[in-house]
Amino acid sequence: MQTIELGGESVPRIGQGTWHMGENAGQRQAEVRALREGLDLGMTLIDTAEMYAEGGAEEVVGQAFQGRRDEVYLVSKVYPHNASAEGVQAACERSLRRLGTDTIDLYLLHWRGQYPLSETVEAFEQLREQGKILRWGVSNFDIDDLAELDAPACATNQVLYNPEARGIEYDLLPWQAQHNMPLMAYCPIGQGGTLLRDATLQHIADKHNATTAQVALAWALRHPGVIAIPKAVNLDHLRQNAKADTVRLDDDDLAQIDAAFPPPTRKHSLQMV
């Protein structure tokens, strides 16, 4: 699988998301099985957050990598209302307990809140000095937020990115490329399945003997600085995701996607879900 350097480590460009995991106890074993299968397939970056099922997703992740912690590049996020000096410390320690590990590889501020960025960054740096996290970054930050942050130590910015939500191409994506900051794309295959039923993506998928999800992932990965973190519990979908980086879209494919989902021609407000 293609890799990229993130926070000084080589990670796969297709990882595993966990939003909505941990919400249904009856699904827990299937979710654990899917994450472990994903590790077997080389999708060793796992992204989660204290927000997801109010810690439930972190518990699923912790169960999934039990006995395999060294294989995993672990990403989690702190709520904005926990992003004070004391709040970050306490939130991280709760996440570590739920995950069953001593260290989070990459810890993100989930989105901006009421606390000054400088206070949150100082708390992140304290966690790093304590060995509780190795790197830190942000999520749902627009270009003005990153400019205000002005922190070379910020390892990534995780934002919504797929053919239906491509406003970041106007300024944010180029800015991050210029600053050698990898962009982590959440919901890269959309939500609710509407993107995956798109006729244009289906036409391109048929041409490549692929699925529409693989086409959407290949489209995101056409940018060398992008990491995609699709979520899958269905094992067939998981295996398809893992093979998406072998799909190579040509200029005609990209032109068709541009026609169906026009690229931005002006600044757009950052989209979030």
The amino acid that residue 104 corresponds to is I
d(CA 129, CA 123): 10
d(CA 228, CA 221): 7
Sign for the pseudo-dihedral over CA of 14, 131, 108, 158: negative
Nearest 5°: CA angle at 102, between 120 and 65? 115
> CB–CB of 174/189 below 8 Å?
no
Torsions phi, psi for 203 (to 5 deg): -60, -45
d(CA 257, CA 82): 40
d(CA 235, CA 239): 6
52, 73, 107, 186: which is the annotated catalytic residue?
Answer: 52
Is 115 noted as a catalytic residue in this protein?
no
Sign for the pseudo-dihedral over CA of 185, 115, 130, 97: negative
Mapping DSSP to helix (H, G, I), strand (E, B) and coil, where does residue 200 land?
helix
d(CA 139, CA 115): 15
Residues tagged active-site:
52
